Structures are given as C-alpha cells and as structure tokens.
Chains A and B, each alone.
Chain A
Amino acid sequence: MTYSDIALYAVLFAVVTDLYFIRVQIITRGIFWLSYGLIFPFQLLTNRWLTSNHIVIYSSEQIIGVRVAGAPVEDLLFGFSMILLTLSFWEFYRARDKEFSDR
C-alpha cells in the first residue's frame, strides 16, 4: 500500500465511521463544511512550512506526484479524514455526556 492508498482508505474510514458506526453524520451538516473551509487554508500554511524547510520529506515513489502547497495532494485527504473524525467523535461524546447529566 502506498500513501495514495492509505489516504483514500483514511477518508473512506472516516466517512463510514461518521455515517454508519457512530452515526453522528456530521458530514451532512453545513457547520462541518464551514469549519473545514476555515481550517483548510491553515493546513496549506502548515504543509508549506513543513515541506519548504524539508522538515518532512516525502518519498516520491509512494505518491501520485501532485503537490499542493509543497505537500502531496494525499496529505489533504489525510487532513480531511482527521478533521472529520475529530468533529464526529467530539459530537458523539458531547451528546452522550449531555444525556448522562440530564438524567
């Protein structure tokens, strides 16, 4: 498996977890996309810093070769999966916590 494969699996895993496993379905809400849209440019900034200074070095054999802000395009998929899973689990635990304290 290359980084391209694992990045795609990460997105798939995040979407399936959100929609069917923990069923928060945050991906269907506008507030999720608004948050993602705001974080996205910061991810580009971070990627630019990490790659232009050669802090992180990507192996060219493991990626399809398209780069955005210095980092492989796969990194954007990986980042998307992390933001989706973070917010999905945040809502999951918060909802359960509220139920608990309401009782």
Chain B
Amino acid sequence: MAQLHYLFVLMFIAFCAVAVTLAFRIRIKRFWRNFLLADGSILVNYLIWDYWAIKKENWSFDSEQILGFYLFDIVPIEEVLFFIIVPLMTVIVYVTLIKILKYLKEKR
C-alpha cells in the first residue's frame, strides 16, 4: 500500500476535478483538444526541469512510496501524471469560476 502514497494525492486531485465537473455541470466544447494542446505546451518544459532537478539531487523520492515506473530512468511516472492532473484541475477551477461569475451576473 505504501507504494501508492504519491498516487493517493493525484487520485484526490482527480477526484476533486470529477466532482466539480459533475456538480457544476461543466461542459466545454472541444475541451480535451484544447486542454491537451495547452498541457502539451508546458509538459515538456516541466519534465525537463524535473529531470534536471532530480539529476542534480535538488529533490528525490522515497522509492518505497512510489510505483517504481520511471521516465528516462529517474523521473517517477507519478511526476508525469502530476504535470497532467494538476493543470487539468487548474483549468477546471478556472472554467467553473467563469461559469459561476456569469451566472451571478445574469441573475442580477
């Protein structure tokens, strides 16, 4: 179970994303196309930074608490997922706030 410790936090964020999407009935035209383009634009950047930081031992990961799959031998797969799930949650928070503000404006 300890191996899932990092994954838990990602699952928690993903769960929040799904909950918010359902609760506020978020439906955005061509969401995935635009999200993948946006995330794709930053993903490479952050993975390079991450790779470099791990290589330089700026930070390291407890091998007991991660799944044990690596990108380029040193970047845990959880880090890759982190750079996808966190931006996804970020965009969902953003579009939800826009929807709420629009609703409040129309109601007035």
Contacts and interface: CB of A to CB of B under 8 A. Distances in A.
Interface of A: 2-3, 6, 10, 31-32, 34-35, 38-39, 42, 46, 49-50, 53-59, 62, 82-83, 85-87, 89-90, 92-94, 97
A57 B37 contact: no
A72 B16 CA distance: 25
B49 interface: yes
B42 A82 contact: yes
26 contacts: A31-B94, A35-B90, A35-B93, A38-B93, A39-B93, A49-B9, A50-B6, A53-B62, A55-B5, A55-B61, A56-B61, A57-B59, A57-B61, A57-B62, A62-B56, A62-B57, A82-B86, A86-B38, A86-B39, A86-B91, A87-B90, A89-B38, A90-B38, A92-B38, A93-B34, A97-B34
B87 A86 contact: yes
A56 to B, nearest CB: 6
Given A39-B93, A87-B90, A62 B58 contact: yes
A6 to B, nearest CB: 6
Given A10-B49, A90-B94, A93-B37, A58 B87 contact: no
Contacts of A86: 38-39, 42, 86-87, 90-91
Interface residues of B, number: 40
A67 B46 CA distance: 22
A94 B98 CA distance: 14
B50 to A, nearest CB: 10
Nearest to B87: A86
A89 B42 CA distance: 8
Q: Which 10 A-B pairs have the closest CB atoms?
A: A89-B38, A86-B87, A90-B38, A93-B37, A62-B58, A3-B58, A35-B94, A93-B34, A89-B41, A55-B65
B26 to A, nearest CB: 14
A17 to B, nearest CB: 9
Contacts of B14: none
